[in-house]
Structure 1
Amino acid sequence: MSIPKVQTAAIVPELGGDLTIKTDHPVPTIDSLQPGECLVKISHTGVCHTDLHAKMGDWPVKPMVPLIGGHEGVGEIVGIAPGTANSPVKVGDRVGIKWMADSCLDCEFCRKGLEMTCPKVKYSGYTVDGTFSQYVVSFVHHVTPIPEGIDSAEAASLLCAGVTVYKALKQSNTIVGNYVAIPGAGGGLGHLAVQYAVAMGLRVIAIDTGKDKKDLSLSLGAETFIDFKEEKDIVGAIKSSSEGLGPHAAIVASASAGAYKQAIDYLRPGGTLVCVGMPDADIGINAFWCVFKAIRVQGSYVGNRQDAVEALEMGAAGKVKVHYQLRELEDLKQTYEDLEAGKIAGRIVLKVS
């Protein structure tokens, strides 16, 4: 395959700065790659709220700048660095690039399947350039093979939103037939959480607002939808929908501090609160009720390499479908504006090349 010398890329020049679309950004040469690296030609990439945070630089851990964001990329490997030994992938493979770009694989955290907390971890579109470009450098031991049976546009969102909620459900301490509440059920993460939960045999209580999100949540298998703007007693309604005791778990996909505080009130004794959404505020969890109700609070930070494989396999099997709008890379600025305004239901996927 002929690799051009320049490419189109969406670049954030400084934290909080305006996004710039460049058509003459250099493409790394194969000879410039370090052992273990590969060059991937991106066909599609999802857009995540994390990308917006990276652009604004409003998280405690700051991204590098200038920055090419994006961490939900699907494309084809077009080159592997000279000197790379025992590569599990080859040129021509269709692979996915996730938030976790690389880790050492040898430390205690990597050995325990917590690669995302490795002291040497690299993050796509945050500490290394990401997928808002036609070509990106990634790492052979961390790219995820995309299975047959799922198209690239749909697979893109499963690489972050999908694996994130799938991992959260795996950590929810639930079994088949249990109730799970999902605040933010109609959003990009939430609508996937509903489907993964249903596929895992859980009974879903969807929490969000608006007719479109209600219709979407119920069509995806939620048993109950509670509109937090219309329901006066949200805690009571959630408990009534789960045998009067409350759900066994809550997967808080919403970036709302109030959603966390509320979950402690409606979870049944022994329930699990799984933290996924990240509001930039204290979440106000009451220690007394956590102890008194024996509530488990579990942070869930994306997923590891195996979680990604499993999440994609469920998508390829037709258990999970991503509801997305397809746009062009040049539409990224407008997409950021729509995300800030809360106008997007489901996910946005960009066609790159």
Structure 2
Amino acid sequence: MKAAVVRAFREPLVIEDRPDPAPGPGQVLIAVEASGLCHTDIHAAHGGYAEKMLAWADFARPVPDGVDPRDAAPLTCAGVTTYKALKVGGVRPAQLVAISGVGGLGHLAVQYAKIAGATVAAIDVTDEKLALARSLGADILVNAATEDPAEVLRAHGGAHIGLALAVNEAAFGALNAGLRRGGRLVMVAMPAGGTIKVPIFETVLGGTAVLGSIVGTRQDLDEVFRLHAAGRTRVIRETRPLESVNDSIAQVLAGDVRARIVFTF
């Protein structure tokens, strides 16, 4: 099988021919049709992709009819991750949900928040990403390059839920500062620095909460697939061959990708 292999950390990935992996007890061999490029992949070793992979049979989920494999790739990562994060935040109709970072995760988060009946504030640093958020239903657009997101959110009464998807520590702080009394900051992205400052007085007096959320359950994924098969969500993606993996990683790190890159095999 063809694979993009990590020979050394932070070195370019190498395309190699590798033997097909052999499943052990309780495992299944999966032929990969499409695989999305996620920031977590880059954190792991600047990549790990192949035409086939092993999975535990108890946790493997079939892609249902009506869902394109090239859409399923982002849905099983960005989709289920943001869907679960909104559940963690306890989103309810008519609440204000602030989504910081409109990209591979954020463009799906906007749609799930709208499905839940929320008012959505989309925060990013480029007009192109904000225009994408608007086309997907965002109600309030905040350009963090020219506006203070916390001030804008407070002008709207403050966010009930802040979804931190931008890989930037300062964005986490701005989102936290824009919460209303009792608001919840849900941390999803993992900036390289790995630390944010949480003001004690404002957190205590405002009764706000800081929560973490990672990926989702098999039930969450089933719901994500059902919503997509029903035409409730759109996946904004660009398909590329596996050989483009190193250039694609560089573009993701530079923030030059509109939403999601999907490698096809």
TM-score, normalized by the shorter chain, greater than 0.5: yes
Aligned to 1:8: 2
Aligned to 2:27: 37
CA contact (8 A) 1:180 1:203 kept: yes
Structure with the bigger RCO (C-alpha within 8 Å, sep 6+) is 2
Aligned to 2:129: 213
CA contact (8 A) 1:260 1:284 kept: no
Give the TM-score, by structure 2 length: 0.96
- Post-superposition, which runs of at least 4 consecutive aligned residues in structure 1 deviate over 6 A? none
CA contact (8 A) 2:123 2:149 kept: no
Shift of 1:193: 0.5
What pairs with 1:96-135 in structure 2 (closer than 5 Å)? Answer: 132-135=49-52
Shift of 1:285: 1.2
Aligned to 1:246: 158
1:307 corresponds, among 207, 216, 220, to 220
Report which of the two has the higher share of helix: 2
Which whole-Å CA distance do the structure 1 matches of 2:215 and 2:112 have between them? 15
SS of the residue aligned with 1:325?
strand
Long gaps (5+) in structure 1:
1-6, 57-67, 70-131
Aligned to 2:19: 26
Shift of 1:293: 0.2
Aligned to 1:167: 84
Shift of 1:236: 2.1
CA contact (8 A) 1:260 1:285 kept: no
CA contact (8 A) 2:82 2:105 kept: yes
CA contact (8 A) 2:7 2:13 kept: yes
Aligned to 2:252: 339
Which whole-Å CA distance do the structure 2 matches of 1:47 and 1:268 have between them? 34
1:152 has 2:69 as partner:
yes
SS of the residue aligned with 1:314?
helix
- 2:114 partner amino acid: V
Percent of counterpart pairs with the same letter?
38
1:263 corresponds, among 175, 188, 206, to 175
Aligned to 2:150: 235
2:42 corresponds, among 47, 52, 58, to 52
- 1:270 partner amino acid: G
Aligned to 2:229: 316
Which whole-Å CA distance do the structure 1 matches of 2:12 and 2:162 have between them? 37
Which whole-Å CA distance do the structure 2 matches of 1:174 and 1:189 have between them? 17
Shift of 1:53: 1.1
Which whole-Å CA distance do the structure 2 matches of 1:316 and 1:296 have between them? 34
CA contact (8 A) 2:100 2:175 kept: no
Please tell me the root mean square deviation across aligned C-alpha atoms, in Å: 1.3
Which whole-Å CA distance do the structure 2 matches of 1:190 and 1:288 have between them? 30
Aligned pair count?
264
- 1:285 partner amino acid: V
CA contact (8 A) 1:264 1:289 kept: no
1:222 has 2:138 as partner:
yes
